[in-house]
Amino acid sequence: MRIRIVDAFTDRPFAGNPAGVLLLDSFPDDAWLQNVAREVNHAETAFAHRLPEGGEADWALRWFTPVTEVALCGHATLATAHVLRTTGTHEGRVRFATRSGVLIATPHEDGSVTLDFPTAPLTRADIPQGIAEALGARPLTAFDTGPNVGDLLVELADEQTVLDLAPDHKALRGRSARGIIATAAADPGRGYDFVSRCFFPDVGIDEDPVTGSAHTALAPFWSERLGRPDLTGLQASPRSGSVRTGLRGDRTLLTGHAVTVIEGELLV
């Protein structure tokens, strides 16, 4: 079977967030899926197979990190939609059946793809004891992002504070179901509205390059503060990438590009 590595939320190779993508006839057992994801060893590997016509979704989709299956993943969904479009396997809008419900991906003529995801419910939380020491910066506020995302979102003082973070990843473990989203407003004139970094040591990812699912929490957080439904976020990892967000009530639109960088044959 064909296996592809796709850089998502970027329009150039070797940036954004890489994901493995495999299109299957059906899902093999979970142990095989986990072994493939461990072998690929990127933040996520997406597995998809076509569903019968006439249902609520066109493809079934699952996502695995090197150590576990996750409930929601943006960049690997974008990568899968990109593969379906560029290989001619599926034309136009595609509906994915996932653990987080039906997710819709809509391709555009400029090569970008818009994902329609559930908006994360934000609940004000106490700033956990020790989080400032673990991050290396003191949060201003903290929010729980609900069961699908499973992160603790922390607001920091400014963009430079986010860029300068050098967290103790071991000390960040156990802070939430998945990890920590650190964010701040962008400096004026940057061309984007907010900046973020995401740390997920509990699922085997010390720092995720660009996290689509985190932006379903970042979108309502920053849209409320900035007074606009449509924003652009920069996730400032070493690879970096941008996500255009559109808050639509209980749904959040995530738009970005993707680039296939590797295509090969899986032999096992």
Contact assessment for residue 258 and residue 113, using Cβ atoms and an 8 Å cutoff: yes
Of 44, 155, 159, 207, the active-site residue reads 44
SS (H, E, C) 52-107: CCCCCCCEEEEEECCCCEECCCHHHHHHHHHHHHHCCCCCCCEEEEECCEEEEEEE
In sequence order, the β-bridge partners of residue 118 are 251
Helix runs in the chain, H state only:
30-40, 74-86, 131-135, 146-149, 159-163, 169-172, 215-226
Is 265 an annotated catalytic residue? Answer: no
Put residue 202 in one of left, alpha, beta given phi > 0 → left and psi -120 to 50 → alpha: alpha
Helix (H, G, I), strand (E, B) or coil at 136: coil
Q: Which long-range contacts (CB under 8 A, 24 or more apart) does 108-113 make?
A: 108/255, 111/11, 111/257, 112/255, 112/256, 112/257, 113/78, 113/81, 113/82, 113/85, 113/255, 113/256, 113/257, 113/258
Q: Are strands 230-235 and 194-200 parallel, antiparallel or unpaired?
A: parallel
In sequence order, the β-bridge partners of residue 205 are 200
Catalytic residue IDs: 44
